[in-house]
Amino acid sequence: MAKRDIPEINAGSMADIAFLLLLFFLVTTTMDKDQAYIRSIPKKIDLPPMDNKVQERDILAIKANNQNQLMVRNSIFRDPDKISDFILKFYQTNEKNNDVANNFPMYSTTSLSLCDQNMALLENQLEEAEQKGATDQAKFFQSSYEEWNKKKRAIQLYGKSEIRELSVQAHIRIEVQQGTAYSIFAQIHNEIEEALFELRDKECNRLFSEQYSILKRRTAQDSDPKDKDKLALLEILYPARIIEVTPKN
């Protein structure tokens, strides 16, 4: 039999097929990324609120009213961009030395031995609670044990035997009214985030000589335990304690 040539396949419509696919992807996808501020909502518990007063120096209240005017610690801010500077002041004023005269939160020293002490104490309490069968209590002791453990690891990473820590009660409080525009609410979160970023970025550069944003992006993609510890240390040094107060009717 005579050898026959294999006929060539006409690839003229390949381009059409590819265009079709391309158009499909153009229509069903978007370029813009979803960007947001992630916050956690406090868990609802039935216990009556504890009656310990928070010192005035530990509260940074950022208020916004129905007319979208801003007030930080009883002084009106016309330029919302200035709020982040004030938040920086809130964190940094007593960072090196405590001064009772100013109205900013105190720093205290946490040492490795204190961590060990507390961890040992909590371990005992945990065992006791488990024997009694008080699961809620056990859960609480478990979580505080983990918190102290995290702190201990952070101090070890910090490279010293102790660490300067912001007062546990110090927090930023967002108080808006029913009619405050979402843009103002988002702007307040933006200012907080900006201030925290600046503080953490500076410390990240000093301790690990790299940028905070890069460290954060890397942890979001694949979680290397070393990076996680670094982030935990930065979060202990400059904690983001934000309370969003539900507006009254």
Binding site for another protein (CB under 8 A): 11-12, 14-15, 17-19, 21-22, 25-26, 28-44, 64, 176-187, 189-190, 193-194, 197, 217, 220-221, 244, 246-247
Answer yes or no: are the C-beta atoms of 175 and 64 closer than 8 Å: yes
Least CB distance to another protein at residue 180 (A): 4
CA separation for the pair 73, 57 (Å, rounded): 10
Beta strand pairing call for 242-245 and 171-176:
parallel
Least CB distance to another protein at residue 8 (A): 11
Answer yes or no: are the C-beta atoms of 115 and 152 closer than 8 Å: yes
Least CB distance to another protein at residue 155 (A): 27
Closer CB to another protein, 147 or 244, in the complex: 244
CA separation for the pair 157, 234 (Å, rounded): 11
Least CB distance to another protein at residue 58 (A): 24
Closer CB to another protein, 24 or 120, in the complex: 24
Least CB distance to another protein at residue 23 (A): 9
Answer yes or no: are the C-beta atoms of 244 and 39 closer than 8 Å: yes
Closer CB to another protein, 84 or 118, in the complex: 84
Closer CB to another protein, 120 or 243, in the complex: 243
Largest pairwise CA distance in the chain: 107
Closer CB to another protein, 2 or 15, in the complex: 15
CA separation for the pair 88, 241 (Å, rounded): 14
